[in-house]
Structure 1
């Protein structure tokens, strides 16, 4: 199968360019760009006129929770895959915080098989770093690597035993495995529902100081310096954690960092009258922290933007704010929410797309996230200016817990391709 995309606005995260052009796809891979692609117009099987819309690599989203096994009523691989395709996400890197935890080769094999059967987009599973995410005994990292795990994480369960964590980092380093950690001091953050400050005090909410993130990150950096492990901080959300991140990179540690789309586009005031759809982990931060983190993404200090897609059912969210479950769905809202940073002038499109495509692909050693010749044809076509009001009940996720319900947004996905095959179509005939 050959497909030619004409009249596209090509967003190339590798060259950091945004220019009109054409793209040729043959047998699931990118074959040519620009004039070379247009010259093949006569011999292709399908021509798609992009009409000036943006054509970019499909998004690579690290940290997606799919609730199989154990909680399919919240999200299945089928619904998560459909949501990802509608949001321009062509690779989901899934979390192991399921029921049961993905901590054995057998559970990993089950998850991989279900994903292949049900999801229209690529699914790469992560596995737990310690058994049951309990922080006491590390998993069989070597066997899990052989079984297809792309990284190891206990998600929001911080490994408090420093000896256990250092041993796991040492073992992971010997195998070249990537460890992903949640940087919060668990003692300070336990039971917190908001970030400490005037807003939390006025609302009477249990709060955590931003220093909890700084302290957790500082501890991890000491262990990474000691072990030489490959390390990724899942979310850096405060200004206080940025200087040690910059210092770690300057000192040559193999460290990267991510941030969720919610911490980039929302702040603590959005909680307003205890709106539980805005309860995420870590809690939303001050506007000063949000601005600092945006600047860190724009400069490249923070490498990756992710959705932190965390489905929760209505029963988990319709509770008093302190008791409600944390998390929000974001596979479909990741791109339009990120485009707020483009429309506000905080970032150009290549920089924004780079943080959601090339950088996560490079961190995981994947060939995706680029539009070079020979790269997999995982692509998203989107109109960055198309306005709409988000209706949470129109989302393809089983759970509807989005903080953007009723929000005016700008930027819609027109089509998504995985390996050259179209997996989402929002042209008028299919809308």
Structure 2
């Protein structure tokens, strides 16, 4: 079977070009095809064609928390956002921390409409005490290791994990947080927390943990990846470490680029996430760190919860917001359409950079011969973000009601349409 996506535009050889993408079977066979005899021909009317986006940080909630999300709904949400490959975190019940459990998880993941790269935990049941059998889990198919959702407080445990993962050439993805320094906080410590009379999270809880782990990473040589970096101090530590040739990479979320704690006007839990929204200065440091290369890529930390859970206010609601379906449109509207970022950089931070950082050899880029993992976006028309349009079970987003450009028209995985707008 063949498909022609005609009259699109996309970046090839770092230039925005007119594209007629011919797909034969699972692969891209031509980017400038004049063949009109394909089995399926779709006129894109000058819409943007990109490589399928890659999100290395999502929470699919299955098994254990299917009231919040399932593999089917979470992967549908990813496809709706233009993502063709996602990294699924291991905070599940049961935790996939043995080869047997991990293989069962991979079987469950077959329900996905996009490609899932499955994380295994660093420690047993993510309790931060005893490390898992890294070699066995790598053999079972783990693409990286993370206790995301929980920091690893024990320095000896982290040291041991880094040594073993360095020997296996595997990535350790760190939820950098010292819980002893969070003070039971629910938002960032500062003026907003004081105004709302809410307990605040000291931001040194993140940077102090990163400082320790950078020293350990330098000593072990492990590839140390920092999840959802959020503070000016954290970014500066990573900047210094990169100059010292520590093998460190990091990600930032769309919400830490777009929001800060000055925007929290009341006790609305749609603004509650971990790490919390920081100060305006921290937000600008995230933007600057991305632009100067200190931050390597953007990842959503898609974290769905039920409507009932997120209606309990800042004090009692769980952390997290959904992000798969809004990431590209929000970032395009805020940063590209306003001239702050070039479009090709946004595409790279959401596709090429995660592919390179995590050495994802089985995902496609916009090249002849590659697997046809493709996203198509409408840059011309503005739409309102509405929970009724979400394919995720979760509606927990502070961006509901915002008007954005760059909504997804089509998403293809291995040459098959997994999301289409029309």
Fold conserved between structures, TM > 0.5: yes
8 Å Cα contact 2:88/2:119 also seen in 1: yes
* TM-superposed deviation, 1:360: 0.8
Structure 1 SS opposite 2:418: strand
In the alignment, the residues of structure 2 paired with residue 186 and residue 18 of structure 1 have an alpha-carbon distance, to the nearest angstrom, of 46
Matched, 1:373 2:371: no
Cα distance, 1:153–1:31 mapped onto 2, change above 3 Å: same
Matched, 1:344 2:338: yes
> Which of residues 114, 129, 152 in structure 2 aligns to 1:121?
114
* TM-superposed deviation, 1:422: 0.6
**Scaled by the length of structure 2, what TM-score is found?**
0.96
* TM-superposed deviation, 1:43: 4.7
In the alignment, the residues of structure 1 paired with residue 15 and residue 203 of structure 2 have an alpha-carbon distance, to the nearest angstrom, of 36
In the alignment, the residues of structure 1 paired with residue 260 and residue 381 of structure 2 have an alpha-carbon distance, to the nearest angstrom, of 25
Matched, 1:425 2:397: no
In the other structure, the counterpart of 1:68 is: 62
In the alignment, the residues of structure 2 paired with residue 282 and residue 190 of structure 1 have an alpha-carbon distance, to the nearest angstrom, of 13
In the other structure, the counterpart of 1:263 is: 256
Matched, 1:91 2:85: yes
* Structure 1 residues without counterparts, runs of 5 or longer: none
Structure 2 SS opposite 1:56: strand
In the other structure, the counterpart of 2:406 is: 411
In the other structure, the counterpart of 1:203 is: 196
In the alignment, the residues of structure 2 paired with residue 38 and residue 107 of structure 1 have an alpha-carbon distance, to the nearest angstrom, of 46
8 Å Cα contact 2:183/2:202 also seen in 1: no
In the other structure, the counterpart of 1:9 is: 9
| Cα deviation 1:253-272 (Å, max 9, x = unaligned) | 22110011111111112321
> Which of residues 27, 44, 65 in structure 2 aligns to 1:29?
27
> Which of residues 338, 351, 361 in structure 1 aligns to 2:355?
361
* TM-superposed deviation, 1:307: 1.1
In the alignment, the residues of structure 2 paired with residue 197 and residue 354 of structure 1 have an alpha-carbon distance, to the nearest angstrom, of 34
Structure 2 SS opposite 1:322: helix
| Cα deviation 1:269-319 (Å, max 9, x = unaligned) | 232111101101100011221122112212222111111011111232121
Name the Cα RMSD after superposition.
Answer: 1.5
Cα distance, 1:190–1:103 mapped onto 2, change above 3 Å: farther
Cα distance, 1:369–1:16 mapped onto 2, change above 3 Å: farther
Cα distance, 1:312–1:345 mapped onto 2, change above 3 Å: same
* Structure 2 residues without counterparts, runs of 5 or longer: none
In the alignment, the residues of structure 2 paired with residue 378 and residue 288 of structure 1 have an alpha-carbon distance, to the nearest angstrom, of 37
**Scaled by the length of structure 1, what TM-score is found?**
0.94
In the alignment, the residues of structure 2 paired with residue 220 and residue 267 of structure 1 have an alpha-carbon distance, to the nearest angstrom, of 26
> Which of residues 204, 210, 221 in structure 2 aligns to 1:217?
210
- Matched positions, count: 420
Matched, 1:382 2:382: no
Structure 1 SS opposite 2:97: coil
Structure 1 outlier segments of 4+, above 6 Å: none
| Cα deviation 1:79-105 (Å, max 9, x = unaligned) | 111111111111111000112222112
8 Å Cα contact 1:294/1:346 also seen in 2: no
8 Å Cα contact 1:189/1:208 also seen in 2: yes
Counterparts of 1:307-318 in structure 2, within 5 Å, are: 307-318=300-311
